[in-house]
A and B are shown apart, each in its own frame.
Chain A
Amino acid sequence: MVMIDPTKEGRFGEFGGRFVPETLIPACEELEEAFRDAWADPLFIEEFHRILIDYGGRPSPLTECYRLSEQLGVRILLKREDLNHTGSHKINNVIGQALLARRMGKSRLVAETGAGQHGVATATAAALFDMECKVYMGQVDVDRQELNVFRMNLLGAEVEAVSSGSRTLKDAVNEALRDWVGTVENTHYCLGSVMGPHPYPWMVRTFHHVIGDEAHEQCLKLMERVPDVVVACVGGGSNAAGIFSGFAGTEARLVGVEPAGGAAVGRGVPGVVHGMSSYLMQDEVGQVQEAESISAGLDYPGVGPEHAYLSSVGRAEYPSVTDQEVIEAFQLLCKTEGIIPALESAHALAWVVREAETLRDQVVLLNLSGRGDKDVDQMMEVLGTDNDQ
């Protein structure tokens, strides 16, 4: 199978939909129409890809990890989204949405951000396209991702710390939605993952499809076959959806790794929040629970609806890893390959390390969704500065 398009109601199987206040329904419809129209327009697609190449630095390389592979007994290939402009895969989606916003005549972007990577990417696009930009970020994340807050300010964006609820990504999404309810006439909500109301999950995946397409071609060139396993971390699930979409039609095993403290798919309870029906961490009456992860970008109690669907039909699997396993994987990649990964991306590696025995001699393609510069401060606190193991 390949990744399916959603139904006209925005459903992937039973998941997805458009569960937002009535005020936003017309904006979602307008966006869907604009996206369908743009994606059928060769000039739009050409401009999108040209910017990703000339400005974003695509294609991102495929890196063979010789030392790490030898150590784990698993052949590991990294798709280097960390080398994109702004340091993560997020730029693909943001360039696409900024182009769409311009096409719809909207001059202001709002975004939510967890780790700050999506906020930085949105602020970057806003600068590039001369748009006003406001980014909502949970107070907890503002504190642990200080550097990214400053980067957004440098780029001319206003960052608002959100101190309601759990003060993390989930609450930043609420606040961005509230902003949009009030400003929908001139503002585009630049949502940062394959979540939210239709058409976002589908549209964001489409903008990240380039990751999977490139990786597929690079794998064929390198070894004349596709990998045995494709693995990526999952917060909302955009980097995973991007790389999965290049391999869903192959025999490759698809693995999305969630943090133990934010395992929405792992717990498998359907729910509705942030405009979508999906799997959702919630208590016994339906209050949304607070995720708890070392990585701000994965600190999210929900997951994109297409991942809920892929899990429910058995096409992809969604194991989880602990913060401790992530810290170890983070260090391992630094020391064996000279690459400092984002803590989010280190989740994918943590799973490979744990499963090295069962993956022996297989080829694993790992989506290295971002670089770890933003996490260095936090890791300094976790490891101490005199760490020399």
Chain B
Amino acid sequence: MNLKSDVGRMETSLRAKRDGGGKLLVAYVTGGFEGWETAVEAAAAAGADAIEIGIPFSDPVMDGPVIQEASEIALAAGSTPASILAAVPNLDTGIPHAVMTYYNLAHNPGHERFAATLADSGVDAAILPDLPFVESGPWREAAAEVGIETILLAAPTTPDARLPELCAASAGFVYAVGLLGVTGERSTLASTATEIAHRCKTVTDKPVLTGVGIGSPEQAVEASEVADGVIIGSAVVRQLLDGHGAEGVGELVASYRTALDAG
């Protein structure tokens, strides 16, 4: 398959694995939380295909209690976008990195400057959950200019009329929001998770990953029957909040990896 040259590292890497028949696993870790760097490395070693590094924001509207708490702790410990990004080049993972943060942290320094800082730090992609597709044009342009892929969220409520356009504009992968709600594990997989993944898959050839609400390896397998893979966030961060550190994160990610590989 002939990839266009403007396809970035995140998409290239995830496509290659997907096209080789593998299911994709992306793990989120809150940057700035004590021990986050080793947690990221442990997640990579345990088989994650890409990492999302959260840059904590004061007002995380898309996040549930677990990630909110980790963000507050990281902020109180003095972490900043600069301190987190400065650590990224030293992360020994071998897989693509996305940052997940909120739009004001890109708006404040300005699109060009923030995008350049990400690129200089070896970040491949960005997820800004409060910058919806309809508002994302200027940022996506500035980001693409320096090779940063902007991963857009597709929600269960996104109308069919907008979905093809949204998926076409997304770079890296398409983030299918699994349920109506904020981040956090749920005890069962919402029916919306497979529905939205299916709707995305019918309009795009890009990797489609389901995130928000995935609470167990079994749910990850179920979600991946339709999607190309899953994103796990709160489950990972809970390991850190509960004091299980990088080891706990490694074991958790390994359990998802094993389940996904077994199908």
Contacts and interface: CB of A to CB of B under 8 A. Distances in A.
Contacts of A21: 61-62, 129-130, 132, 153, 155, 177
A39 interface: no
B182 A178 contact: yes
B218 interface: no
B224 interface: no
A286 B132 contact: no
B134 A287 contact: no
Q: Indicate the size class of the contact surface on chain A.
A: 35 or more
A185 B180 contact: yes
Nearest to A17: B135
Interface centre among B64, B80, B153, B155 (most CB of A within 10 A): B155
B152 interface: yes
Contacts of B58: 165, 287-289
Given A21-B155, A22-B152, A273-B104, A177 B61 contact: yes
Q: Indicate the size class of the contact surface on chain B.
A: 35 or more
> Dominant SS at the B interface?
loop
Interface string B167-185: 0000000000101111000
A178 B80 contact: no
A26 interface: yes
Nearest to A287: B58
Contacts of B57: 286-287
A379 B46 CA distance: 59
Interface string A1-37: 0000000010000000111111111110000000000
A22 B135 contact: no
Contacts of B104: 271-273, 280, 282, 286, 288
A106 interface: no
A310 B134 CA distance: 25
Interface string A139-165: 000000000000000000000000011
Contacts of B180: 23, 181-185
Interface centre among B57, B61, B131, B153 (most CB of A within 10 A): B61
A286 B105 contact: yes
B177 A22 contact: yes
A43 interface: no
Given A165-B58, A165-B72, A181-B62, A27 B108 contact: no
Interface string A165-188: 100001100100110011111000
Interface stretch (B7-15, B88-96, B156-164): B156-164
A274 B104 CA distance: 10
Interface string B41-78: 00000000000000001111110100010001001000
Contact of A23 (B64, B105, B177): B177
A285 interface: yes
Contacts of A170: 59
A240 B57 CA distance: 30
A59 B91 CA distance: 65
A19 B103 contact: yes
A22 B72 contact: no
B109 A286 contact: yes
A166 B82 CA distance: 23
B154 interface: yes
B173 to A, nearest CB: 15
A22 B158 contact: yes
Contacts of B133: 22, 25
Given A21-B130, A21-B177, A22-B133, 20 more contacts: A17-B135, A20-B130, A21-B62, A21-B129, A22-B152, A22-B157, A25-B157, A26-B158, A164-B72, A174-B59, A174-B61, A178-B181, A178-B182, A182-B180, A184-B180, A271-B107, A272-B104, A285-B105, A285-B109, A288-B104
14 contacts: A22-B132, A24-B157, A165-B58, A170-B59, A178-B181, A181-B61, A182-B179, A182-B182, A272-B130, A273-B59, A285-B82, A285-B108, A287-B57, A287-B105
